[in-house]
Amino acid sequence: MAKWGEGDPRWIVEERADATNVNNWHWTERDVTSWSQDVINNLLLGIRVEGEEGSCEITDVSNIDGEASINNRKGKLIFFYEWIVKASWTGTNKIGIKYKGTVEIPNLSDENDMDDLDISVSLCKDQPSTPLTDLMRREGVKKIRMALGNYVKHLRTEFSQGMILPTENALNKQNQEPQAKVKLDNTQIGSSTTANSSNTGVKIQTVSFSMKDTFLTSPEELYRVFLNQEMVQAFTHLAAFVDGCSGGKFRLLEGNVYGQFAELIPDQKIVMRWRFSSWPAGHTATVILNFMNQGSETELILEARGVPSNEEERMKEGWQRYYFDAIKQTFGYGARLC
């Protein structure tokens, strides 16, 4: 099986468009079916709710059947999508007894508002009655509806880019830019690199950066924080899915961040294929975490490569706030005890 973001055929986006479609007169279309299936799976998998009854979590998305496409006609974008989704959930009550059930969504479509979505939650036939079913229907359905709303939002923002082409006047203006401006732009671009998104064929200007911070704990403990699902959920304060093994996937912060663990050297190094959900489809950055033993503390050195240049500051701020600072505050790794 291909690694996430590296040639997986589900990430290939077919595009039928006329490159000479000046003034957006002709009909252009993008097939985003495979991309949609992967995004819906990532957004639903790992959704978790807790209550007095216990906890429930979506553990498998067994079927995502349908299609999705984006069309441009005379400069107007039209979104088509129609899906039937089936998933499985597992509940655990307060004394540790587990129950299994299903979720069915028959009408995820551009014709229906999110509030009109039918989300059916049931218990497997061989399972005894449990209050966990009501918990899933009450709280789980809210999170499922929110996750599918995020899918529609990502669909409209991520893939609408490039569907409306420049007008003829705009093209002529671009062609008349002074040659000196072209030389200047080339000089600026030379300080970074250009990556090619495997799914869209769009060239992305990328940069690399590094960060480091010190944590008052051992490399073993800090390493475990990034790979243990319960610990990730603790410092993000949100449901997360983390398969902490080489090749395992992760999804956190309500699906806004996800990726795959590409290489793991226990207590020393973690290599991730990491991305924001808003990045161009299929494009991932390589994030390397090196855990340096400094006696009573650990120096964590982060190296990021292939980051879209316009996302550098956002990614730096996000790692500092939602990873480094959050981990220190949650587990007490930032303050010395007297």
Q: For 199, phi and psi rounded to 5 degrees?
A: -95, -30
CB 255 within 8 A of CB 245: no
In the block, tokens 């009501």 appear at: 134
Q: Where are the alpha helices (DSSP H) in 9-55?
A: 33-44
Residue 335 confidence (pLDDT): 55
User: What is the structure's pLDDT at 228?
Assistant: 93
Reported for 252-257, long-range contacts at CB under 8 A and 24+ positions apart, including other chains, are 253/322, 254/146, 254/147, 254/150, 255/39, 255/42, 255/43, 255/147, 255/150, 257/318
φ, ψ at 294 (rounded to 5°): -120, 35
CA pair distance 115, 143, nearest whole angstrom: 12
DSSP label at 24? G
What phi and psi values does residue 243 have, to the nearest 5 degrees? -105, 90
Tens of pLDDT along the chain (338 residues)? 333 333 333 333 333 344 444 443 445 677 888 888 888 988 898 899 999 999 999 999 999 999 998 877 666 778 889 999 999 999 999 999 999 999 999 999 988 888 889 999 999 998 999 999 999 999 999 999 999 998 888 887 765 555 444 444 444 444 454 444 434 343 333 335 555 554 444 577 899 999 999 999 999 999 999 999 999 999 998 888 999 999 999 999 888 899 999 999 999 999 999 999 888 888 899 999 999 999 889 999 999 999 999 999 999 999 999 999 999 999 888 855 43
Model pLDDT, residue 77:
78
Residue 269: predicted pLDDT = 97
Helical pair 141-158 and 33-44, crossing angle rounded to 10 deg: 150
pLDDT at 128: 92
CA distance 206 to 72: 29
Tokens of 66: 């349908």
> Tell me, what's the pLDDT at 221?
94
pLDDT given for residue 336 in this prediction: 53
Among left, alpha and beta (phi > 0; psi -120 to 50; other), residue 253 is: left
- Looking at residue 299, its pLDDT comes to 96
- The CB density around residue 68, as the number of other CB atoms within 10 Å, is 26
User: 106, 141 in Cβ contact below 8 A?
Assistant: no
CA distance 277 to 319: 15
* Nearest alpha carbon to residue 159 among 310, 26, 15: 15
Each as own residue / partner, the long-range contacts of residues 184-191 (CB below 8 Å, 24 or more positions apart, any chain) are none
List C-alpha distances in Å: 228 to 242, 271, 274. Answer: 7, 15, 17
